[in-house]
Chains A and B, each alone.
Chain A
């Protein structure tokens, strides 16, 4: 009689007890073939993992090969010029930094707070539980919504704010603070003369001889207006001389705290839209992290007389912090790489200046890279590759920073 395989016996016993049971379909193997199968399965796993790593290495290598020769100081400091030798990504880098920092600022508190509510303060009664489960279901669903949908949502909810505050044109409108209006004359001496405007709804100023204005450095100047056909003065007087058919244009100067409603297509709108995209991800990962905290810790703290708030603040949250931060890192990486919603919100591909305030126009790195790739010239494709390297660099340094913070915060549970 053969030596009986103990496992086979056990499994056989299970099947004998319950012929319809879950183990019924397992083909029973004895010693040697069982180990062979194990080795083969391990081999399969290693191969599949190696393939994905190889693809990644291949991608990185091709981008490095294409992009490294185009990495230059111009790329870091220049704007999106049409000449490949002058093209740079500075406005886009700053745009990405603005949008992503603001987005993190909004998303982390809201996301973590929501996760704490859903995990730590669960209601006892039936109706409360029902409402919670509806919220939970919707958050899980929202995590799977394509980001372009959030872009469209951002367009109505933030850009125009459902038309609640009137419409904003390139010359302002709606509610605004931190903005000053000027009428700009461009003199025959090619100097800009600004006439401060107290009421922006008034029509643009007409040139009047002796009108008081300021020059670009803020010094008071007096306008000299002559009729068309008259000889222009020479010397310094020319700088403040206008023909009487000159026209002014209204321009604005915005303080760093400039804010207006509706929000328009500015940095703030971009950050809020990205917040919509990554909020479900952050909530779900924070929930997972909170759930992973052993309940013995909570029970211990509660047993010592802590209030629920003290438990959350001093026990649960610190222990869950590493997990929450990991989730936040992943979510922020997604936000940095997000193109579709930004394309809908901003849509600008040639922008000459980095954002100066929350309402300012912006573009982000993925959008700039997308624009370079879709150009016919081969040079732009290598610049795009260099841009991708920069984007990866920023992404990795963000992640490294978060990992460092996580290490600092990490305290052993025992």
Chain B
């Protein structure tokens, strides 16, 4: 609530106030309007705060929900980003009840497929757009604005009775999850992972292969060329993974931080050794935000169809989303990205800078921390 990087002066007060009065609030406008108008609106706002939302359906421009704006926004994509988008949509609709927003969960890849056909205005993605999707969109005449929204911390979890795993290095995780070959088969017992671990059977769990979570985990552990082992239990439903890991002491699994937060009593998070500092780090709000919990934290994105941004409802929604992304993402169990990145994203959106930061001019994938990649000079407009 205190991190509202784009509001200054009376607007900041109006934002704080409007949050405190919940439903009957008026949006803060990003376009600068003359000062007297702001003051008038602030006074009107205070008046409405005390009059108790008397005129909520009225839709006048003086402090209640605006029933004037109409239209429909189609969103589809990652189920990881869904809770953030849904929260943004739900809050936005309290300000503009006549704007219809549909959010689907076709997965990051499925969402991009619809996005590149022009069926959706916004695509949720738990990984950056890849070269083939970028090319497909470009061919269809659709340019995308890439906006990072939050960090998601992948959490590696074990059964609470598992007392031997104190921490794991990326190499050890790779050993557990990589598909083996004839010379070095995937480990069957914990003792194969590190000398000193008991000879208990390993039961690995993982999210479904269609999810961005699976892709990201594979990339940071075994790399995109190798595959993860095929003899693990996978499920698209993270609650199934939680139940699975909580059900047997030899198990290990991974999923988004939000699911760990809700199930802290049933499972235990494993500290992961940061390859750069050599320190074992547990996922937490602070370590994910600061980048210490690396490489298991990843940014999540929304992609805006450049053909849709001229529409007032889309423009207002994305502006609202970016302005409140920090607050919304922490409310639903994700970590906000640094304020300067939100500012950069806002500037890219206002300036309609299309393209991706995650592909080089040669179409190679660019990887690295969000702070380094999300830079002006890395923006590729065309494949």
Listed in ascending order, the chain A residues whose CB lies under 8 Å from chain B are: 79-83, 167-170, 184-186, 188-192, 204, 216, 231-232, 238-239, 247-251, 346-353, 361, 371, 373-378
Contacts and interface: CB of A to CB of B under 8 A. Distances in A.
A236 B238 CA distance: 53
Contacts of A190: 61, 66, 68-69
A170 B118 contact: yes
A169 B34 contact: no
Given A192-B69, A350-B103, 11 more contacts: A80-B86, A82-B87, A168-B119, A184-B312, A191-B68, A204-B310, A216-B68, A238-B61, A251-B72, A347-B76, A347-B104
Contact of B100 (A191, A248, A353, A378): A353
B69 A378 contact: no
A250 B61 contact: no
Contact of B68 (A81, A167, A192, A249): A192
A252 to B, nearest CB: 8
Interface string B24-61: 00000000011001000000000000000000000001
Nearest to A370: B237
B61 to A, nearest CB: 4
B251 interface: no
Given A190-B61, A376-B258, A348 B68 contact: no
A188 B263 CA distance: 47
A72 to B, nearest CB: 18
Contact of B102 (A238, A348, A377): A348
B71 interface: yes
Contacts of B312: 184-186, 192, 247-249
Contacts of A249: 71, 308, 310-314
Interface residues of B, number: 53
A82 B332 contact: yes
Interface in B261-301: 261-263
B128 interface: no
B315 to A, nearest CB: 8
B375 interface: no
24 contacts: A170-B72, A170-B118, A184-B70, A184-B71, A184-B312, A184-B313, A190-B69, A191-B61, A192-B68, A216-B68, A231-B34, A238-B61, A247-B312, A249-B308, A249-B312, A251-B71, A350-B85, A350-B102, A350-B103, A351-B103, A352-B93, A374-B236, A376-B239, A376-B333
Nearest to A377: B262
A251 B100 CA distance: 11
Contacts of A81: 90
A346 B89 CA distance: 18
A401 B11 CA distance: 57
A361 B104 CA distance: 11
B330 interface: no
Contact of A352 (B76, B102, B262): B102
B311 A374 contact: no
Contacts of B101: 350, 352
A119 B74 CA distance: 48
A232 B105 contact: no
B104 A348 contact: yes
B263 A376 contact: yes
Contacts of B61: 189-191, 238-239
Given A347-B106, A374-B239, A188 B33 contact: yes
Contacts of B105: 347, 349, 371
B120 interface: yes
Nearest to A189: B61
A141 B150 CA distance: 49
B104 A232 contact: no
